[in-house]
Amino acid sequence: MNVLKFGGTSVANAQNISLVIDIITKASQNKKLAIVVSAFGNTTNMLLKTAELAAVKDEYYRSLLQEIENRHMQVVKDLIPVTEQSAVISHTKRLLNYLETLYEGCFLLRELTPKTLATIASFGELLSSYIISEVMKVRQLDSNYKDSRELIITTESFENAQVEMKLTQENCQAFFEKNEKQIIILPGFIAATPNGETTTLGRGGSDYTAAIIASAVDADELQIWTDVSGMYTANPRIVKQATPIPHISYQEAMELSHFGAKVIYPPTIQPVLHKEIPILVKNTFSPEQEGTRITKNPQGKQQAVKGISYIENISLLTLEGSGMIGIPGFSKRLFETLLAEKINIILITQASSEHSICIGINDKEASRAKMALDETFAYEIALKKVDPILVEQQLAIIALVGENMKNHQGLSGKMFSMLGKNNVNIRAIAQGASEKNISAVINSEDAKKALNALHEEFFEEKIKQLNLFVTGVGNVGERFLAQLKQQHEYLREQLKLNIRVIGISNSRTMFFDEEGIDLDSWKDKLAKGDKASLDEFYETIKTHNLRNSIFIDITASHDVSKVYGDYLRNNISVVTCNKIACASEYENYQNLKRISQKYNAPFLFETNVGAGLPIIDTLKNVIASGDRVHKIQAVLSGSLNFVFNNFSNQNTFHDVVTQAQKEGYTEPDPKIDLSGVDVARKILILARESGYILELEDIENNSFLPQETLATENNEDFYASLTKHEAHFQQIFKEANDKDCRLKYVATFEDGKAKVGLQHIPSDHPFYNLEGSDNIVLFFTDRYVAQPLQIKGAGAGAEVTASGIFADVIRIGKF
């Protein structure tokens, strides 16, 4: 005989029940079956909610009850032919009327005892099993109905009753021995006291009902049919990449379920374990999938870590004090107190100094536990031998599970370093001596991030996911997104990086999609997004709390440049082409670097100098290898280079600058380039990256712009001023041209000092032949003595700047 249990979603409506009947029909061809069913999905929650409302005299309970009634009647009407409906409807109605009477009682008495609550909760399974049993009859299956309350006998703790195993087994054996039907259907979750009063086996208890029956009748197999394709490496609703575990041991399944893998109710395994009855977890909606097989000794090569699970709503209680050291009895009294209060302990840790004991319990029980324990230790607290119990709430336990972990070194190291890398604060750690389980207590809000990060580490080693939040999607940003889209597959295949854009913003709107924004339609989505706000962008990213998050600044905004520190402190990396932060006060630049290190969040700005050219990265490597830069000579303005390469006595300065701006070679405010400020910022950043302490004001800037042009306050006035001073610019051109020199805006750093300005470059100089918008930088170092280290190439333009940002993102991916 096989025992098959169908959960709430599997029997949630007529359509699903039809699938269940198909599965039963097929399975009953060559085996006798006991079928255990849950209440129709969510009914138990509704029943309990209705009871709570009735007991506080909230009339709304009647509407909820009506909803419960309608749902069940609908299934009857959908699945029982009209000619046979009346008997089924009238029995269903009788059950519902009785339920209504119970609610009336609660309403009138304003009372809800555990006993009444259990009776009310039992109606979910009573109704579902009755209706499904009638559907089976209609489909002419050789089946009968049996009320589990006549078989499963429990103690009188009504909502979480303990099963009297011996009596229960005898009842089950006697019944099934006599049974001649091919299929018996029974309600899950419900049982009775020896006096016949209804009890329940705890939330999710239908699994347990099925296991008890399977064990009593020595079933060949226990099948748990649910809404996912087995027991997964992690909860598939939280970790999208989780996959079903093909084969797992009883012990492992038990650990996973105890630590939150709700797919199996924890007590379920115990009854079948001794008899070595295999458990199969299957998906009602995809019966062809293999599912998970739970046995004593899984065959084949087994992974060390089998799964990761977690429990929420945990409180940590700490008993601490110097008066505890070396004195026996403290833990005994602690545990006895909690036992007397019937408080379940989920996790225990004690440091070897015996200075403190820490226990994890359910949040709901925390204040009760604290009161009881403070009373137990009142004497010692008064003498200051121990402190009052410390309670920390809203925590979660995250656990790695696997029997084979004991044979592998370094797993906990990997676990904790992964959590550390993601800035997940660990409040307590527990590892059993059997090493089937390594648990960490963390903040609830970090649970999702921690689960995904650990899953990636232990199960997806090959693919790392990066989550991008891009602000400023103008010219460069647009190119950047296009490059990401184009390279997506390549990065996945070759670099094992899965890069997703989760949030985008421009100055008007912002848009988020946690599943990753479709890079074909981001413009439409952004246009219809929420109103842009720098604060909300930040808050939303924080709330998402995704691992490997990267904030990308592709603006030239002062305001955006001020928020990097906030991101870094939250372990969110920052990539920016905006130079403002790195060229601000040295203290701020240095502070951002410090925070970046402290919170393990890279802060990269390769595109601050020379757009996509690998200048800063090269410099970093030079310094890291112990070399020392003493002089830098560079042409660092793609825009000025473009302007002076194109300007002559055949055109006007105004027109050349206009063209440069149109082609994307200047900042939105071209004066920043033309005045030399942009070049000054760049040489400042290079000097700082070389290890020198320098401020922007220390840089000598010999601007070639007339004072009046420098004083303009908007682009229109700026351009008008260029036209007005055309003669001045022609004069500058003539002076250079007369000497056969070219004009280059050169930045120099030497002897701790930096300066920028226009220079006449003769034809034998390496800067002479610098074309278009190219940049060049020469590093004179201890090791590059005869010839400087040179980097040269396009130093401006949307496409190359975007690829520089791209390169920084990849660097973080490899971090």
Residues 777, 617: Cα–Cα separation, whole Å? 13
Extract the tokens encoding 362: 């359910």
Q: Residues 31, 137, 262, 492: which binds ligand ADP (CB under 6 A)?
A: 262
Among residues 124 and 670, whose Cβ is nearest to ligand ASP?
A: 124
How many other C-beta atoms lie within 10 A of the C-beta of residue 112? 20
Extract the tokens encoding 98: 């009785």
Q: Residues 122, 235, 295, 505: which binds ligand ADP (CB under 6 A)?
A: 235
Least distance from C-beta 20 to ligand ADP, angstroms? 11
- Give 770's contacts (C-beta < 8 A, 6+ positions apart): 635, 641, 645, 744, 776, 792
Is residue 14 within 8 A of residue 74, CB to CB? The reply is: yes
Q: What angle do CA 54, 55, 58 make, to 5 degrees?
A: 45
Touching Mg ion, residues 186-225 (CB under 5 A): 204
Residues 112, 668: Cα–Cα separation, whole Å? 69
Q: Residue 307 binds what, of ligand ASP, Mg ion, ligand ADP, none (CB under 5 to 8 Å, by partner type)?
A: ligand ADP
Least distance from C-beta 126 to ligand ADP, angstroms? 17
Examine residue 267 and tell whether it contacts Mg ion (CB under 5 A).
no
Among residues 227 and 689, whose Cβ is nearest to ligand ASP?
A: 227
Strand-pair partners of 319: 357
Q: Residue 749 binds what, of Mg ion, ligand ADP, ligand ASP, none (CB under 5 to 8 Å, by partner type)?
A: none
H helix intervals, 712-790: 715-724, 726-738
Q: What is the dihedral of CA 20, 23, 27, 33, to 10 degrees?
A: -10
- Count of positions on this chain that bind ligand ADP (CB under 6 A): 21
Annotate 187-250 with DSSP letters as a single string. ESSEEE-TT--EEEB-TTTHHHHHHHHHHHTT-SEEEEEESSSSSBSS-TTT-TT--B-SEEEH
Residues 581, 588: Cα–Cα separation, whole Å? 7
Among residues 134 and 207, whose Cβ is nearest to ligand ASP?
A: 207
Residues 139, 476: Cα–Cα separation, whole Å? 65
Strand-pair partners of 743: 760
Least distance from C-beta 220 to Mg ion, angstroms? 22
294: helix, strand or coil = strand
Examine residue 263 and tell whether it contacts ligand ADP (CB under 6 A).
yes
Among residues 282 and 742, whose Cβ is nearest to ligand ADP?
A: 282
The residue written with tokens 């545990």 in the block is: 335
Active site includes 598? Answer: no
Examine residue 8 and tell whether it contacts ligand ADP (CB under 6 A).
yes
The catalytically annotated residue of 436, 682, 744, 792 is 682
Among residues 311 and 415, whose Cβ is nearest to Mg ion?
A: 311
Residues interacting with ligand ASP, by CB under 6 A?
Answer: 7-8, 38-39, 44, 124, 188-189, 203-207
Among residues 209 and 607, whose Cβ is nearest to ligand ASP?
A: 209
Q: Residue 203 binds what, of ligand ASP, ligand ADP, Mg ion, none (CB under 5 to 8 Å, by partner type)?
A: ligand ASP
Among residues 201 and 756, whose Cβ is nearest to ligand ASP?
A: 201
The upper half-sphere exposure of residue 374, i.e. CA atoms within 13 Å in the direction of its Cβ, equals 11
Stretch that binds ligand ADP, among 8-16, 486-494, 502-510, 610-618 (CB under 6 A): 8-16
Examine residue 227 and tell whether it contacts ligand ADP (CB under 6 A).
yes
Examine residue 757 and tell whether it contacts ligand ADP (CB under 6 A).
no
Examine residue 204 and tell whether it contacts ligand ADP (CB under 6 A).
yes
String of contacts with ligand ADP for each residue 304-343, x by CB under 6 A: ---x-x----------------------------------
Single-letter code of the amino acid located at 165: M
Residues interacting with Mg ion, by CB under 5 A? 7, 204
Residues interacting with ligand ADP, by CB under 6 A? 7-10, 38, 204, 226-228, 231-232, 234-237, 256, 261-263, 307, 309
Looking at the annotation, which residues are catalytic? Answer: 682
